[in-house]
Structure 1
Amino acid sequence: MRFQHDKKLLSTILVFTDLDGTLLDHDTYSLAPARELIDTLQECKIPLVANTSKTRAELLSFQKSIMLQAPFISENGAAIHLPKTQFPRQPQNSVESGEFWVKQFSQPRAHWISLLKQLAPELQNLTQPFSQMSVEQLCQETGLTFDNGLLAHQREYGEPLKWLGSEDEKHVFIDKITAQGGHVLQGGRFIHIGDQVNKGDSMIWLKDLYNQTSKQNHTTIALGDSHNDIDMLEAADVAVLVKSPVHQFPPLRRTTNIIKTQNKGPVGWVEGLLAGLDILNNQGVSHG
């Protein structure tokens, strides 16, 4: 696959993508239909930044599996992981962690587990936190293999929950968490309790870092399928909503440079990303 787009434009594009249900098939977790386009992005040196609820451990495994060398954003914007090979100078207010600089935006997971334990028992009984699931239970809920379930269990910041109550009870639960300084995000399978962070703010921070280090203004394409992608989709220059097999498109306030795919999962991801590149190439950017 070759891009028939302006080379200067391609050199300043950043692609941010959700994984489960977007780049990865909702049921099989396969990205096979997107493999060729991923390879083309890498050949063109267009960063493909995973921006997901997944853990650092999961993302390290994912990046290795497809030989992807790019920054990644874990746990719904809680932390940005920057390869030292690509960012030799340590960014301000980041910490060193092995081969990465890490910019953290959230308190640790233990804080949120403690907060959940302080809720009234009738509210606690409406949830099943990750921390109370065995790896086998987690695999049953998600369809992950045992090895991938182990990686998903290694959370550092927020705490995902399986919701067991009604929608009305969920509103009460969210109000209680919010009153304690927490933030609730609805993902594809779980709700996520954590700090007042989101995928959009982390995307903007990383875009600004690219602008500073390269002395060029970058343009963003974001791809997602769920409510926890809304902040990222609103903040991107082009928003690609990938059709889901299990829920409707997330609602957006913006009205320009929006693509809603006809296809689902990685097939829809390819459809949407190519359409997004065409928008930037042919029409310019009218958002952001």
Structure 2
Amino acid sequence: MLNDKRPFNYLVFTDLDGTLLDHHSYSFAAAETTLDLLEAQHIPVIPVTSKTRAELLPLRGQLGNRHPFITENGAAVYIPVEYFPIQPTECQQQGGFWVKAFSRPTGIWQTLLQQLKTDFADEFVLLSEATPEQVTELTGLSVEQGLLAQQREFSEPLHWQGSPERRTAFLSALARAGVTPLQGGRFLHLVDQCDKGQALRWLTRCYQLYQPKHQLITLAAGDSGNDIAMLQAADRALLVRSPAHAPPVLPAETDYLLSETCGPSGWAAGVRQLLALPAD
């Protein structure tokens, strides 16, 4: 349960890879001081990621994070049991978590992609079918971490290997099947019509019910196209520079701060600026 009954002002929703975690090393060392400050001020930091629950559990331990988290690009919200005084509606208990699912199981996407392999043979690799060596090459993860990344529950990432022209044809085939994939930093993600922004709004309502007389301000941080919905949904947005790709183009009406540096150092400085916290 939230162990401090004082009202808090902010919720920080953050992407991980390339944002809180370094794109190449996956280190968050440059953000540790800021994370400690946020925890000391009772400001929840909520991971919002394309990663799986299996990946998040050990990472939460490394981060010292005890708060809810959002997996697979907004496909599910995991809330530690008894984190709130009562179980939120629309949740089911799975192990030590209350879980709100926004997407159907991953088997739906695997079946569709197997059908598309007839027309797009050898032009894409499913993360769930990749060999340990392929997973390491595509993600930079260790073999052990790669096995955790393959444990999808609600979505299916794929790595496109064909030409740009064939990719357009592939996306058209998905559209005819009623699917619009999300482009992440490394993969195309097949998932139901849900996104990080929808999950942010739902979880924010849960927090607001916990302290109905104290208005919350949400901050979202991300670096890729699959973060746009989350950045739009938040009250304050931090677009973190990436060493691997240009910043995604946000809708003109979106007010955001673009970090000066990449990854966790840019995250830390941007979060402090947007929350009016002292500089590191």
Structure 2 residue 117 is matched with structure 1 residue 140: no
Deviation at 1:111, TM superposition (A): 0.6
State which of 120, 123, 136 in structure 2 corresponds to 1:123.
120
- Counterpart of 1:249? 247
Deviates further, 97-106 or 147-156: 147-156
- Counterpart of 1:269? 267
Per-residue CA distance 1:6-58 (angstroms, 9 max, x = gap): xx9x8120000000000100000000010011111111111100000000011
Deviates further, 204-213 or 167-176: 167-176
- Counterpart of 1:159? 156
AA of the residue aligned to 2:135: L
Taking the TM superposition and a 5 Å limit, the aligned residue runs for 1:229-248 are 229-248=227-246
Deviation at 1:186, TM superposition (A): 0.5
- Counterpart of 1:194? 191
Answer whether contact 1:57 1:151 (CA < 8 A) is retained: yes
Deviation at 1:124, TM superposition (A): 4.2
Work out the CA distance in 1 between the residues paired with 2:143 and 2:227. Answer: 27
Residues 34 and 120 (structure 1), Cα distance of their counterparts in 2 relative to 1, 3 Å cut: closer
- Counterpart of 2:206? 209
Q: Which runs of 4+ in 1 moved over 4 A?
A: none
SS of residue matched to 1:251: coil
Deviation at 1:88, TM superposition (A): 3.7
Q: Which runs of 5+ in 1 are unaligned?
A: 1-7, 282-288
Deviation at 1:102, TM superposition (A): 0.2
Q: Which runs of 5+ in 2 are unaligned?
A: 1-5
Answer whether contact 2:128 2:152 (CA < 8 A) is retained: no
Deviation at 1:277, TM superposition (A): 1.0
SS of residue matched to 1:240: strand
Deviation at 1:67, TM superposition (A): 1.5
Taking the TM superposition and a 5 Å limit, the aligned residue runs for 1:33-44 are 33-44=30-41
AA of the residue aligned to 1:218: L
State which of 156, 162, 168 in structure 2 corresponds to 1:171.
168
Work out the CA distance in 1 between the residues paired with 2:93 and 2:175. Answer: 31
AA of the residue aligned to 1:46: I
AA of the residue aligned to 1:42: E
SS of residue matched to 2:116: coil
Deviation at 1:93, TM superposition (A): 1.4
Taking the TM superposition and a 5 Å limit, the aligned residue runs for 1:271-286 are 271-278=269-276
Per-residue CA distance 1:113-135 (angstroms, 9 max, x = gap): 00111225232432111122022
SS of residue matched to 1:278: coil
Give the paired residue count: 272
- CA root-mean-square deviation: 1.8
- Counterpart of 2:75? 78
Aligned-pair identity (%): 44
Answer whether contact 2:155 2:191 (CA < 8 A) is retained: yes
Residues 89 and 20 (structure 1), Cα distance of their counterparts in 2 relative to 1, 3 Å cut: same
Work out the CA distance in 1 between the residues paired with 2:41 and 2:172. Answer: 46
Structure 2 residue 256 is matched with structure 1 residue 258: yes
SS of residue matched to 2:219: strand
TM-score after normalising by structure 2? 0.92
State which of 175, 179, 202 in structure 2 corresponds to 1:182.
179
AA of the residue aligned to 1:250: P
Residues 124 and 94 (structure 1), Cα distance of their counterparts in 2 relative to 1, 3 Å cut: farther
AA of the residue aligned to 1:224: G
SS of residue matched to 1:259: strand
Deviation at 1:65, TM superposition (A): 1.3
- Counterpart of 1:286? none
AA of the residue aligned to 1:232: M
Work out the CA distance in 1 between the residues paired with 2:180 and 2:40. Answer: 38
Work out the CA distance in 1 between the residues paired with 2:50 and 2:117. Answer: 27
Answer whether contact 1:241 1:249 (CA < 8 A) is retained: yes
Answer whether contact 1:259 1:275 (CA < 8 A) is retained: no
Work out the CA distance in 1 between the residues paired with 2:118 and 2:256. Answer: 43
Work out the CA distance in 1 between the residues paired with 2:235 and 2:62. Answer: 29
Structure 2 residue 51 is matched with structure 1 residue 54: yes
